[in-house]
Amino acid sequence: MAVTQTQPSKANRIAITAIGLAATLLIVIAVNMLAHRFAARFDVTSTGALKPSDRTYSILGSLEGESEIVLAANLIDPSRDRAALSRVLDMLDEIDKASDNVRATVINTGTADGIDQYQALIDRLSAERSDETQAAVDLTTSAQASLERLGTQMMTWADPVQNLAQEHEPDRTGVSPWTNELRQRASQLRVRAGEIDQVSAYVQQSLGQMLGTTPVPNVGEARNVIQQAHGVIASVVQEQLEDLLRRAQDPKISAAGRTSATNLARQMQTALDEAAIVIDAIKTSPLPVLSRVAQALASGEAAIIIGADGQSLSAISIDDLAPPAQPGVARIDAGRRAESLLGSALAATSQSIPVTTAVLIHGTDARILTERGALDQLLESMAIRNVRWIEWPVSLSPEKPAEVALLADDPNTMYVVVGMSMSSQGAAERAIRTGAVLDDLIESGKNVLVCLSPSTMPGEGAPDPMSEPLKAFGLDADTGRPTLVDKPIGDRRFVEWEQLILPGETGSPLAEVVKGMPTRLTWPIAIDRTEDVGTAWPLIRSQADNIWREAEWFGYWLERDVNRPNVANPPAPGGSRDGEVGQGAFAWAVERPTETGTQRVVVVGSHLWLFDMVARRTASIDGKVGETSQGNTEFAHAIVSWLTYQDDMIARSAEAESFPIVQPMDPARLSAARWFFIGGLPLLVLILGAVVRLIGG
């Protein structure tokens, strides 16, 4: 008997197909909606280079309310590095997806519509801050008017100054010996006064800056110009004033001349005092929010960060986010740089990271921050993290400066005490002064970073005033015997006075930040833990072989760095006063309880590790120039956070992450992958085909 198989009708097949397509469409829509809301992003690089760093996640987690990032850039500009800009956009998207408290918008200013959007944004920002901006403009205009008045007075002083020569008794030739000199001084007054017109024109240009049709005064630039001009002019007038007072005491000047010189000096002093009051007002008056970012906004391409309160504002130019590549310089990861800048700007505008002050204390006879510029790159990297630096050179200012005294009770103030060279004249006296300040800071419970220098004083039987205060924390720094490393090269010995270390300590957030990162220390000093005071964590130890503590180091220290490799008989281990490093570490973090809370101190056995010449040292690798001591800067950032109790911000920064490197697969995983794609996947297709055939007939 034949069996007849009933086939579904055409209408049923169409209905089933339609239902299947509709169900598939609904599933796709639902999956996409869920994926947009709960985005799962997988980073297969070994360094996590395609996702935000731990520090960025900490910042995003601290945000309250909704902050906004608006990236305005010409995305079709052929001169722009497209790869770098793409990385910036990717990282901006990652930040947007990583937090519900950040909203990111991209405006393409390469299109007419994008230009209109950017102009509308500037209009809104300007209107919201118009009162604050106008008040700052008025104050700046007042300062400029004061400078102009001073210039007018200088013009009126020129002739009386020059004529003063006639009031001096003539020499043998019948001519006043003051004639030429006072003519030059009068000319200098006229020339400097005439330059004020150029200053005024530049100030008006800055205050009248327009972005499209919207006024966005660059008050910061105008104030800088006024202050610089005032500094030069005040110096000229002050010098002239002092010269007049000296001439008034000359026995060969007439009574009328003495009176004229004294009156002129008095007028100059009054004018200087009046101008200084107004100029000081613009120095201490904060810049309006809009003017702080005027330069970045004027470029037409910038990332604008608006705080959750709607008032806080920051801006980063596109060239800072994605700097153009330079020949012979290692290419930076623009995404990582953008992440670091944007994260810090978000923290600043949301005030989740308070303004921190680092007070640099040292014993040199120069101002390191303003005169030598030895920390410029460190200060720049700190500035974007809301850290400002002020200086107290104890040799120049034995008494505590007023600015330092005012910040003494601020919990966001920490101190950096740096020991300096012992080879200059008066070094011992300067070390004693600096050590006394350090001892006072520790006694008063302040949080301090101590950077130690080798000292000749222990070798002379005297305690090192920089290391003695550290015994209160159970630390014994062997500053009289810095460590050296013996490195044979062929048949010659080379003694290394600095070490590039890959720290491997754990147990402390500070140690974790620099773990495995190249960190350079010059003339490292071993620090032993001799007493259990509070809680202490070793941060950096040496892994070098043939390392020892050298007692007879001073002669080698006096040699120039470039000459040391050629020293015939460099120091060698085994001397009667030498020693092994043992368990000594080069850096420690210590925390101890006090009557008012806890006190934290970090001690690093190297005095130059913060300075750009060490921390930002570069080398040529494969024809590209790149930094070799990345751990130094990361360590400094982490220490500042720890000493100001911002523990949540202690994490490796975005800039410290390496370029993306795909994780290598071990042999077992590689073999499994090959079997799956070469054999398993085709077999799976055959099995699915058989199942479909069996079911469908």
Structure tokens at 19: 């239902």
Under the banding of pLDDT at 50, 70 and 90, the label for residue 664 is very low
Q: Give the model's pLDDT for residue 676.
A: 67
**CA-based nearest residue to 98, from 371, 392, 339:** 339
Q: Which of 21-25, 206-210, 378-382, 458-462 has the lowest mean pLDDT?
A: 21-25
Average pLDDT over residues 146-156: 94
Under the banding of pLDDT at 50, 70 and 90, the label for residue 307 is confident
Q: Give the model's pLDDT for residue 274.
A: 92
- Are 515 and 503 in contact by the 8 Å Cβ rule? The answer is yes
Under the banding of pLDDT at 50, 70 and 90, the label for residue 44 is very low
Pairing of strands 102-108, 313-317: unpaired
Average pLDDT over residues 490-512: 89
* Separation of alpha carbons 513 and 54, rounded Å: 10
pLDDT higher at 569 or 609: 609
Q: Give the model's pLDDT for residue 449.
A: 97
Alpha helices (H) in 111-218, listed in sequence order: 112-128, 130-163, 179-207
Q: Give the model's pLDDT for residue 358.
A: 95
Under the banding of pLDDT at 50, 70 and 90, the label for residue 522 is very high
pLDDT in tens, 562-600: 888 888 889 999 889 999 998 889 999 999 998 888 999
Whether the model pTM is above 0.85: no
Which residues have CB under 8 Å from 329's CB, separation 6+?
624, 625, 626
Q: Give the model's pLDDT for residue 125.
A: 86
- Are 419 and 431 in contact by the 8 Å Cβ rule? The answer is yes
Average pLDDT over residues 506-533: 93
Q: Give the model's pLDDT for residue 661.
A: 34
* Separation of alpha carbons 33 and 31, rounded Å: 5
Residue 521 pLDDT greater than 90, yes or no = yes
Q: Give the model's pLDDT for residue 146.
A: 93
What sign results for the dihedral spanned by CA atoms 14, 16, 18, 21?
negative
Under the banding of pLDDT at 50, 70 and 90, the label for residue 394 is very high
Q: What is the mean pLDDT of the chain?
A: 85
Under the banding of pLDDT at 50, 70 and 90, the label for residue 624 is low
Amino acid code (one letter) for 572: A
Alpha helices (H) in 43-129, listed in sequence order: 54-62, 82-98, 112-128
The residue to which tokens 């050629």 are assigned: 566
Share of the chain above pLDDT 70, in %: 87
* Separation of alpha carbons 633 and 637, rounded Å: 6
pLDDT higher at 454 or 354: 454
**Residue 37 burial class via C-beta count within 10 angstroms: exposed 0-12, middle 13-18, buried 19 and up:** exposed
Under the banding of pLDDT at 50, 70 and 90, the label for residue 694 is low
Q: Give the model's pLDDT for residue 137.
A: 93
Q: Give the model's pLDDT for residue 662.
A: 38
pLDDT in tens, 89-110: 988 998 998 888 999 999 999 8
**CA-based nearest residue to 415, from 489, 360, 477, 374:** 360
Q: Give the model's pLDDT for residue 32.
A: 66
Q: Where are the domains of the chain?
A: 136-208+218-279, 354-645, 672-697
Q: Give the model's pLDDT for residue 622.
A: 55
Q: Give the model's pLDDT for residue 398.
A: 86
Q: Give the model's pLDDT for residue 648.
A: 80
Q: Give the model's pLDDT for residue 386.
A: 83
Residue 695 pLDDT greater than 80, yes or no = no
Average pLDDT over residues 603-615: 94
pLDDT in tens, 239-292: 999 999 999 999 999 999 999 999 999 999 999 999 999 888 888 788 888 887
Tell me if residue 314 falls in helix, strand or coil: strand
Q: Give the model's pLDDT for residue 697.
A: 55
Q: Give the model's pLDDT for residue 373.
A: 77
What value, to the nearest 5°, has the Cα angle with vertex 449 and ends 445 and 453?
125
Tell me the CATH number for domain 354-645: 3.40.50
